[in-house]
Structure 1
Amino acid sequence: MSLFTQLIGTGRPDVVFLHGLFGRGKNWAGIAKSLAEHEHASVLFDLPNHGRSHWTDTFDYPAMASEVADELRLRLGSAASVTLVGHSMGGKVAMLMALQHPELVRRLVVVDIAPDISYQVRTSVPLVKAMRALDLNDIASRGAAEQLLAADVDDPAVRLFLLQNLKHTRTPQNRNGWQWELNLDLLGDHLDDVAAWPNVGEVSYPGPALWVGGSDSPYIQPEHHDRMRQLFPQVRLVRIPGAGHWVHADAPVELTAELLPFLAE
């Protein structure tokens, strides 16, 4: 089953974006539109169990990387070669794809994640609990859902981020027609797998790699630097001032300013 994608820009795509946990491809639409003004066409992926892509029975990073690779070959042919940009969970998929399918990846951009266990993913536990607590049969509107979610999720931006996954579709089982578009049960039950990093052995990716961290985010630590350089010898780390984990939402202009010269190298 193919993954859902969105194309932004014209011409042959040269940039691919992979979103993070509970996200979807359109989270990168603003930056992709900025890149389109500089003649870069982008493909925005909904990863498995997210957005409009299919659900699976397991959470498996190597399988996701292979699925994205297969999709690129299907859409762009055997000569596919792109700049791959991945944030958080999508950053781990991007790193694995660069390691396992380097012929498809001209350049790699990893946004606020490291090739290690990401213990910070456990902060999603209360978010999963809050989403599961919503009685979808009693929701009259998206606004009502946000009000209910506010009891457990204080940050309005986080609430809106989560509620992008709430879809209105009437079914016989759900008289009001609201349902989660992401696979909440699988993701909620496998947060430890989301946080994990698989054993990749002694492989390395020879191409250029840009490692972007938010200055206010705890996801990239000094102890991660050596492993990142082993896997990606050409890596260069930049920190975006004032940005947290969601760098593309906190500082889209600054992140775009880092991406454009990297794309031109």
Structure 2
Amino acid sequence: MLIIHGLFGSKKNFDSLAKVFSNKAALQASYMIVISIDSRNHGDSGHNNNMTYPAMSDDVIKLLDDLKLSGGVVVMGHSMGGKIAMTMALNNPSMLSGLIVVDMVPGRSVTADTDFFPKMLQKMREINFDATPDISIVQARKEANKQLSTAVQDARIRDFLLTNLVVKDGRVTWRLNLQSIHDHYQDLMTFQEFQGRTYNGRTLFIGGSLSSMLSEKHHPMIKQFFPSAEIIKLSGAGHWVHADDPYNFASKVIQFVKTLIFHKRQGPDF
């Protein structure tokens, strides 16, 4: 399994669940190797001025080729990562053995028409510590939290964003490439045209009932591109469904993976 995080996230977002997914007892089968990655301009990955979904999808495809894992991988992506995963599946279906999309759809994001992300991104870009090079990471996060609160009222989201403040070359800085995210914001909010292409492999769309990112109105769009998709919502969970309800989320994912394993054992005519 390969896991791709969402916008402003990192591979560490799925550390706990990755351990669950790789558990032999949970799968009741041979163990599964789980790889979480940092997308370009996030985490420990390099920065690049090109931040389109085809480019980020190509990054993952190259990684799978380098690791010689093409064709036997369940790819799971949350939010932005879901769009990367869907792009992979539609452009290179033979590389995947299954697809899991977490609280995202193959179309324009519902947040694209709000000012929440642009305001948040602008505030993050305004926060820098060039004038205070000796500030500690603890103090920097405290000050950044204060400044972010004017644009982001939810303390949980602020805490999530502040994980991206790091010490690099002795100075506190954002590890995100905020300029590239800003320049490609509209690309990230939309989804490319695929001219009638479909991914016919087994697919799971899983969202939270409190999130508007994945709703019933999106079902026809999903089925258009992913005709074999199963679509489920976890009650009481929001956009970060894997964090809001990790137990039920893990159970649904493990159940899906077990069906893939059983299907593979039985052969294509099962």
Deviation at 1:40, TM superposition (A): 2.5
1:186 to 169, 172, 180: 180
SS of corresponding position for 2:67: helix
Mapped pair 1:59 → 2:51: yes
Instruction: Return the match for 2:40 from 37, 48, 61.
Output: 48
- For the residues of structure 2 that align with 1:222 and 1:240, how far apart are their CA atoms? 14
Question: Bigger CA drift: 198-207 or 147-156?
Answer: 147-156
Change in 2 beyond 3 A, CA 1:170/1:54:
closer
Where does structure 1 lack aligned partners over 5 or more consecutive residues?
1-14, 172-176
| Shift in Å, 1:180 | 0.8
Instruction: State yes or no: 1:34 paired with 2:20.
Output: yes
Gaps of 5+ in 2: 25-30, 260-270
141-150 or 236-245, larger mean C-alpha shift: 141-150
Between the two proteins, the alignment pairs up a number of residues equal to 245
Whole-Å separation in 1 of the counterparts to 2:98 and 2:22:
18
Give distance in 2, aligned partners of 1:136 and 1:76. 42
Distance 1:189 1:68 in 2: 22
1:88 to 79, 87, 90: 79
What is the correspondence of 1:1-265 to structure 2 with a 5 Å cutoff?
15-38=1-24, 39-77=31-69, 79-121=70-112, 122=114, 123-137=116-130, 138=132, 139-140=135-136, 141=139, 142-170=141-169, 177-265=171-259
Residue type at the aligned position of 1:205: Y
Question: Shift of residue 170 of structure 1?
Answer: 3.2
Separation in 2 of the partners of 1:156 and 1:76?
Answer: 41
Q: Give the whole-Å Cα distance in 2 for the aligned partners of 1:51 and 1:256.
A: 24
The answer to whether the Cα contact below 8 Å between 2:110 and 2:212 also exists between their aligned partners in 1 is no
Separation of aligned partners in 2, 1:20 and 1:200 = 22
Q: Give the conservation status (yes or no) of the 8 Å contact 1:130–1:153.
A: no
- Partners in 1 of 2:201 and 2:194 — Cα distance? 17
Alpha-carbon distance, 1:80 to partner: 4.0
The separation in 2 between residues aligned to 1:58 and 1:119, in whole angstroms, is 23
Identity fraction in percent: 34
| Bigger shift: residues 235-244 or 138-147 | 138-147
Q: Which amino acid aligns with 1:219?
A: M
Poorly superposed stretches of 4+, deviation over 4 Å: none
TM-score normalized with structure 1 length: 0.87
Alpha-carbon distance in structure 1 between the residues aligned to 2:176 and 2:200: 34
Amino acid at match of 1:53: S
Distance 1:253 1:127 in 2: 30
What letter matches 1:41 in structure 2?
Answer: I
2:151 and 2:83 mapped to 1: Cα distance? 29
Given that residues 73 and 80 in structure 1 are in contact (C-alpha distance below 8 angstroms), is that contact kept between their aligned partners in structure 2?
A: no
Q: AA paired with 1:169?
A: K
